[in-house]
């Protein structure tokens, strides 16, 4: 595999919590898209894991789970990842999450100083995506 990313739209979030300046987004079912160089075809998988943002000074309003993501932006210093999170993902500097959820009017909008993605177990295959 040359490229793996979490595809935010459709990913299922079990809970969002903030403690001691750390925001934790726990995915019960993050949708992964895997692709290989030279191939137009891709595969879709799912995997549980957590997207963690540290150095949060202003905690966001509480979001009750479970939630389904409809998209969002991850600002990583000068880069913006729209509707996706690259795997692996670890960064320091100016990090901002702006994530929208199905049925929730206001997006989660929070900034911090470092972020990482921790995936659990192994990815489970869903389907083959033909272009």
Residues pairing with 74 in the sheet: 81, 97
Name the domain count of the chain: 1
Helix (H, G, I), strand (E, B) or coil at 56: coil
Residue 104 is classified by DSSP as -
Beta strands in 41-83 (DSSP E): 42-54, 67-76, 79-82
| Residue 35 and residue 92 in contact, taking contact as beta carbons nearer than 8 Å | no
Mean pLDDT, the chain, whole residue set: 94
83 pLDDT band, cuts 50/70/90, is: very high
Instruction: Name the residue among 51, 45, 97, 90 with its Cα closest to residue 71.
Output: 97
Q: Quick: pLDDT tens for 119-131.
A: 999 999 999 998 6
Helix (H, G, I), strand (E, B) or coil at 64: coil
Q: Quick: pLDDT tens for 18-53.
A: 999 999 999 999 999 999 888 888 999 999 999 999
1 exposure class (CB count in 10 Å sphere: 0-12, 13-18, 19+): exposed
Residues pairing with 45 in the sheet: 32, 125
Q: Name the pTM for this structure.
A: 0.92
Residue 84 has pLDDT above 80, yes or no: yes
Structure confidence at residue 21 (pLDDT): 94
| Residue 91 and residue 115 in contact, taking contact as beta carbons nearer than 8 Å | yes
Range of the domain at 118: 3-129
């Amino acid at each position: 595999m040359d490229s793996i990313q979490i595809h935010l739209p459709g990913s299922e979030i079990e809970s969002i919590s903030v403690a001691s300046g750390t925001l934790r987004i726990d995915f019960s079912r993050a949708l992964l898209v895997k692709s290989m160089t030279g191939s137009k075809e891709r595969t879709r998988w799912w995997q549980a894991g957590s997207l963690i943002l540290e150095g949060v000074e202003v905690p966001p309003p509480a979001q009750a789970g479970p939630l389904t993501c409809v998209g969002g932006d991850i600002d990583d210093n000068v880069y913006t990842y729209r509707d996706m999170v690259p795997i692996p993902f670890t960064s320091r500097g100016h990090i901002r999450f702006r994530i929208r959820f199905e049925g929730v009017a206001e997006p989660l909008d929070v900034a911090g100083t470092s972020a990482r993605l921790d995936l659990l177990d192994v990815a489970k295959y869903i389907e083959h995506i033909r272009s």
